[in-house]
Amino acid sequence: MDTPSPEFEVNMQHGLAAHAQHGQNEYIEALESRLGAFRLPPPQPGDRGRAARDISASFDRLGNYQFGEDWEQSNQVMAGAYAEYAIREHRKLKDAGNERGAREFTASTIYEAIAAARQNNDNDALAVVREGWAISQELLGIYGKPHQYDVNLIGRVAGLEGMSGDKPKSAKRQLGNLAVSLAKNSQTNRVLEPDTSLDAAGIKQAQKTAWRRGLAAKAIIEMQALPTRRLTKPLARFILNKAVL
């Protein structure tokens, strides 16, 4: 067995800090750090899946940016491939009864869903976030307190449910309201495992991001509840891609 590398977490934290700057060059820097972590022996089971999940996020944020002729696949294809790796690893741990694996699985469903939704595969996206959200609710019942991953997940669940037509409007609205309500808890002691490296400004920004995502999800739900939803669907998808995913 490979010896866990102390550099793994250093690369992961560097990637997180770079990604948070929201610039094209910073996204590339984040991707390089995360790929570096992925190639190292992970400290704990599931950590390589965590790196793969972050790599998926980097590829997704880079959109149509071209790295050169040696990159034969589009960034969205790469995002999907790494998201699939993450969800496979975390599903195995979850199915083996590993509680951390179950928690990481809920987060990985976000990126699997994003990859599917970018390709307009809404049914696949919805199925995976529904599974992740169901597990999140089971864990909430055990611990009595939401996790930061729940804050990150619920807006995506609400937005994707809003695009679908197989759930009552009242149930969708409950999800949208919950997404907005949980936003104020983001990165605070009201959730399990907040990011303790964030300062007051960083916490406020995380809350604003979650709040905007929740509002965007609510807008999708309301638009798709209208009789003219076929006409508003392109706008709803634009909001989904730009403000929710």
Task: Tell which wins on pLDDT, 68 or 137.
Answer: 137
Q: What is the pLDDT of residue 70?
A: 45
**66-109, pLDDT tens digit by residue?**
555 444 458 888 899 999 999 999 999 999 999 999 999 999 99
Dihedral sign, Cα of residue 189, residue 152, residue 48, residue 86:
positive
**210-221, pLDDT tens digit by residue?**
999 999 999 999
- Asked if the model's pLDDT at residue 222 lies above 80, the reply is yes
Q: What is the pLDDT of residue 171?
A: 95
- Asked if the model's pLDDT at residue 238 lies above 70, the reply is yes
193 residue type, one letter: E
- Asked if the model's pLDDT at residue 64 lies above 70, the reply is no
Q: What is the pLDDT of residue 38?
A: 97
Q: DSSP of the chain, one letter per residue?
A: -PPPPTHHHHHHHHHHHHHTT--HHHHHHHHHHHHHHHTSPPSSTTHHHHHHHHHHHHHHHHTT----TT--S-HHHHHHHHHHHHHHHHHHHHHTT-HHHHHHHHHHHHHHHHHHHHTT-HHHHHHHHHHHHHHHHHHHHHHSS-BHHHHHHHHHHHHHHHH-SSS-HHHHHHHHHHHHHHHTTTTSTTSBS--TT--HHHHHHHHHHHHHHHHHHHHHHHHHTSTTHHHHHHHHHHHIIIII-
How many whole angstroms separate alpha carbon 160 and alpha carbon 165? 10
Q: What is the pLDDT of residue 237?
A: 94
Interhelix angle for 148-163 vs 99-118, to 10°? 40
Percent of the chain beyond pLDDT 90?
A: 81
* Token output for 176: 């949208």
230 residue type, one letter: R
The predicted model gives 128-144 an average pLDDT of: 96
Q: What is the pLDDT of residue 72?
A: 44
Cβ–Cβ under 8 Å, residues 96 and 108: no
Q: Cα 105 to chain center, whole Å?
A: 11
Q: What is the pLDDT of residue 229?
A: 85
Q: What is the pLDDT of residue 69?
A: 45
The predicted model gives 32-53 an average pLDDT of: 96
Length of the chain: 245
Task: Tell which wins on pLDDT, 32 or 71.
Answer: 32
Q: What is the pLDDT of residue 162?
A: 95
Percent of the chain beyond pLDDT 70?
A: 94
Across the chain, what does the average pLDDT equal?
92
Q: What is the pLDDT of residue 2?
A: 59
- Asked if the model's pLDDT at residue 138 lies above 90, the reply is yes
Q: What is the pTM of this model?
A: 0.90
How many whole angstroms separate alpha carbon 129 and alpha carbon 182? 17
